[in-house]
Structure 1
Amino acid sequence: MPLLSNVVGFSLFGLATRFYQLGIQRRNLFENPGGHVIAMAVFGYGGYWAYRWDIRAAELLALKREEIRQRRGQVAMTADE
């Protein structure tokens, strides 16, 4: 579910960006729906990439925390001796 909400949220942001772009140019908002689809697809892919990045970053942080925990345990054991 988080993946779907992330992709949909980013794609809606892409649609809003497209509407803003056409609004600045004072063009008809419903003139070329293909442009809206392209903008939504590009931003949706960005949302997918951001979701995958978040998952990978969490995995890397967990690994790094485990390494730090192990090193601190080794240092504590050598300090006790």
Structure 2
Amino acid sequence: MTLISTILGFSAFGFGARCFQLGLQHRPIFDAPAGHLYSVLAFGGLGYGAFYAEQKQSVMLAEKKKALLEIRQKEQLEWDSKKQAHAV
């Protein structure tokens, strides 16, 4: 997922949430555009943060997977050497 699509998606959700809020209050939806702007900016900022948090988590998971695979390989070598020692 790209940065732009994440920000735009979160911003669209913020705009929809603001429109829904005004609809629940029975207020005109496009009466005060500043509220929509603040909502879009706030949710766009959340999308920006979510994008970089997802990238950081992906890197951390890849490092953890690499470390676990190395440990698994070492344990497999130890297991194979013990099996060969007992077979002799």
- Asked if these proteins are the same fold (TM beyond 0.5), I'd say yes
Aligned alpha-carbon RMSD (Å): 1.1
* Residue 78 in structure 1 maps to residue 78 in structure 2: yes
Tell me the residue number matched to 2:30. Answer: 30
Separation in 2, partners of 1:29, 1:49 = 28
Unmatched 5+ residue regions in structure 2?
A: 82-88
Larger Rg: 2
Paired-residue identity, %: 35
Question: Following TM superposition, where does structure 1 have runs of at least 4 consecutive aligned residues deviating by more than 3 angstroms?
Answer: none
Structure 1, unmatched stretches of 5+, are none
Q: Deviations over 1:8-45 (max 9, x none)?
A: 01001100000000001011111111110000001001
Indicate the residue corresponding to 1:3 in structure 2.
3
Query: Aligned partners of 1:30 and 1:75: how far apart in 2?
Result: 64
Q: CA deviation at 1:80?
A: 2.4
Normalising by structure 2, we get a TM-score of 0.86
Distance in 1, Cα, partners of 2:2 & 2:9: 10
What is the total number of aligned residue pairs between the two structures?
A: 81
Give me the TM-score of the superposition, normalised by structure 1.
Answer: 0.93
